[in-house]
Chain A
Amino acid sequence: SQQGEEDPQALSIQEGENATMNCSYKTSINNLQWYRQNSGRGLVHLILIRSNEREKHSGRLRVTLDTSKKSSSLLITASRAADTASYFCATVPSGIIQGAQKLVFGQGTRLTINP
């Protein structure tokens, strides 16, 4: 399977703390994306990091990418109750750019922020 792995599978922290989730993947990539999924809903794109980038920020989100280790991490700082959701990493394998960009999802991390 090309699917990546995420750890931890579940994470529970107090509001205000930082949350870190990790993702590993198996193939060379064009980019890696992080998505959030609230319970029973669709996925929302959070941030994209290209294969030639090492770190990217967006608001309270910080993403790192280590292509030599085929791994990425997502840091959410100053967590809020509304951050409670599942977080998925997804990779776009490198190679010939095609019309469609097929995402290969990791298994996800279930994040719970306790008030």
Chain B
Amino acid sequence: DAMVIQNPRYQVTQFGKPVTLSCSQTLNHNVMYWYQQKSSQAPKLLFHYYDKDFNNEADTPDNFQSRRPNTSFCFLDIRSPGLGDAAMYLCATSRAWLPNNEQFFGPGTRLTVL
């Protein structure tokens, strides 16, 4: 089945230790998104890729970066995780240039910062 896969599902890191979260998709969608969702809050868009074009949200901290080496894969890098970065990180995909389009979400990676 076509899907969005996130690895790992659970990630524990230490304060200040870089961490990378992975997302892959078999939907062949142009657009990939990364959201941060803290406990009992709404998902918040960090950035997205439209093909290879990277689009950062204005309030996304510099600590967060992303890479998209090909259509299928996208990575979220947190350079120096702080305690406030503990959250669920959600990857999503969608087709581009269609005005009424759903997004397909992966199961998420729950990040714990010790």
Contacts and interface: CB of A to CB of B under 8 A. Distances in A.
Interface of A: 3, 30-31, 33, 35, 40-45, 48, 50, 88, 92, 97-103, 105-108, 110
B42 A88 contact: yes
A19 to B, nearest CB: 19
5 contacts: A31-B100, A42-B90, A42-B107, A101-B99, A103-B45
B31 interface: yes
Interface string B78-107: 000000000010101010111111111111
Instruction: In the A-B complex, list the 6 residue pairs whose CB atoms are closest, starting with the nearest.
Output: A105-B42, A99-B50, A42-B105, A45-B102, A99-B96, A43-B105
Contacts of B101: 101
B43 interface: yes
A52 to B, nearest CB: 10
A40 B92 CA distance: 16
A30 B40 CA distance: 27
Given A97-B97, A100-B55, A43 B43 contact: yes
B30 interface: yes
Given A99-B30, A100-B48, A3 B107 contact: no
Contacts of A35: 105
Contacts of B103: 43, 45, 101, 103
B108 A40 contact: yes
A33 B102 CA distance: 8
A107 B98 CA distance: 26
Nearest to A102: B45
Given A41-B107, A43-B43, 19 more contacts: A30-B100, A31-B99, A42-B105, A42-B107, A42-B108, A43-B90, A43-B92, A43-B103, A48-B102, A97-B97, A97-B99, A100-B48, A100-B55, A100-B96, A101-B103, A103-B103, A105-B42, A106-B42, A108-B42
- Which of A88, A100, A106, A107 is most buried by chain B, counting CB atoms within 10 A of its CB? A100
B67 to A, nearest CB: 17
Residue of A35, A42, A43, A92 with highest tally of chain B CB at under 10 A:
A42
